[in-house]
Chains A and B, each alone.
Chain A
Amino acid sequence: MPALKNRDLSDNELMILVAAGDTDKLGILYEKYKMPLFTYFFRLTLGDKHASEDLVHTVFYRVIKYRKTFTGTGDFINWVFRIAHNTGIDHNRRLKHADSYRNEVMGVDTVVYEVPDIEKNERRELLYKALGEMKAEDREILTMGKIDCLKYTEIANILKISESNVKIRMFRALKKLKDIYNNLEKDSYGKV
């Protein structure tokens, strides 16, 4: 039987090989999913880069630890994001309150990328403030909606809700964000 090239292998096949002991294959999956996972955690932690990197590491640590539980009956993307979802929940529990998130975000070492535009910077600040005032689950579903590789079906599988419910919850979360954002914006202009 000719050896399969990596590019021919699906995510599920790669993970099955990892489960069988070919751990090198996890590198391929890591390279493919590190950015979507980082994005997911970055939004969830309101731009905490270090925390997001740690959370991505935790996800892959759990992937290795529980590799034998991956049977290939479901898609790898659902499985890995389910682990990410649970990792996020654990992280939230540790932080206890959304306020802690906000305090951290307002701290020094949070959003490290540079935005030279002052107006953009202010809008970003407002956005993260608004996101910080939302419930973690609302923030999570908004974040998931913005991750390219996650479609409604995948999100529904990860959160264990119906696809239709995903759409409804996404819109409601966005509506909340819009209301909070608009109020913060009004307050901000009022101060000026």
Chain B
Amino acid sequence: MEKYDFDERLSQLIYGDLSPDEKSRIIAGLKVDGMTEEEIMSYVSVAGILDEYPVPDPSERMDRRFYAMLGEEKKKILLGSPDRYESKRSFFLSAWPLMKIAAGIALFILGFATASWINRTSQRNQNQMAQLSGEVKQLKETLVMSMMQQSSPVERIKAVNMISNMDDPESRVISSLLNVLNHDNNDNVRLLALEALIRYSGIKQVRDGLVTSLSHQTSPLIQMRLTDVLVALHETKALPEFRKMLNDESLNYSVRGKINKAVVILL
């Protein structure tokens, strides 16, 4: 702080417009603070060097250029030529409130447009995806239906396996699967169709189809498996069909035992 004060006082001594008394007082003060008179005067003399060399007068060229420029400017004002800086400035000043509102509206529109674009894009993508997935599903089902008509049991097994991987098969696919379960001449294919139908046992069409299927089955393996499934599903509608089967004397012994137990459970 003292150093700053010291610098300030010297600066004032050199540059300040001081009276002789004021100068003496500052010099005395600086001496008290430890500066010698020679030291003080060396600063004053260096500052004096700057004054030793007066600045020359500028040439007439400077004045001529200035007055020429001033004349041009006067002409512009008289002729009403636009002052580019001023016109820009006044435009911005006058348009500023409107620009703020416009910027707000533009921002809102931009936000809205962006949101709806994103929404539309995503909606469009979703629609496209849904459409595509629907088309794939339809194609797959057609393929499956066609495969189930094939003479080769391997192809029919492949078709049934494909159906069991479907999330939400159409009614015609279920009907086709039930048809395979009831009429396919290959036991393995029918058994596989039954396993595939178990996955969709929540569908009424499937449950009813399974009940009806009892009368179509001749293979003890399939009869036993179908009985287990109907018991597991607590399908009481199967009881009349079970009774009918029990009346059949040719019914397999193991199947009879299974159906007796099922009837007891379902009653």
The interface of chain A, by Cβ under 8 A from chain B, is 21, 23-24, 26-27, 30, 34-35, 38-39, 42-43, 49, 52-53, 56-57, 60-61, 64-66, 68, 111-113, 115, 120, 123-124, 127, 142, 145-146, 164, 166-168, 170-172, 174-175, 177-178, 181
Contact = CB atoms under 8 A, between A and B. Distances in A.
A22 to B, nearest CB: 9
B46 A181 contact: yes
A171 B74 contact: no
A60 B12 contact: no
B52 interface: yes
Contacts, number: 110
28 contacts: A21-B77, A23-B74, A24-B70, A27-B70, A30-B66, A34-B63, A35-B55, A38-B55, A39-B55, A49-B59, A52-B58, A53-B62, A53-B65, A57-B65, A57-B66, A60-B66, A60-B69, A115-B53, A120-B52, A123-B52, A146-B50, A167-B8, A167-B11, A167-B12, A168-B7, A170-B15, A174-B14, A174-B43
Contact of A49 (B15, B50, B58, B86): B58
A60 B181 CA distance: 103
B204 interface: no
Interface of B: 4, 7-8, 10-12, 14-15, 42-43, 46-47, 49-59, 61-63, 65-67, 69-70, 73-74, 77, 83, 85-86, 89
Nearest to B85: A65
Given A171-B11, A174-B11, A146 B51 contact: yes
A166 B4 CA distance: 11
Interface of chain B: mostly helix, strand, loop or mixed? helix
B55 A42 contact: yes
A56 B64 CA distance: 12
A26 B72 CA distance: 13
Contacts of A42: 55-56
Contact of B55 (A43, A115, A142, A167): A43
A4 B74 CA distance: 21
B49 A123 contact: yes
Nearest first, the 8 A-B pairs at minimum CB distance are A113-B56, A171-B11, A167-B11, A53-B62, A167-B8, A178-B46, A145-B15, A171-B7
B121 to A, nearest CB: 49
Contact of A38 (B58, B65, B70): B58
Question: Which of A21, A111, A168 counts the most chain B CB atoms within 10 A?
Answer: A168
Contacts of B55: 35, 38-39, 42-43
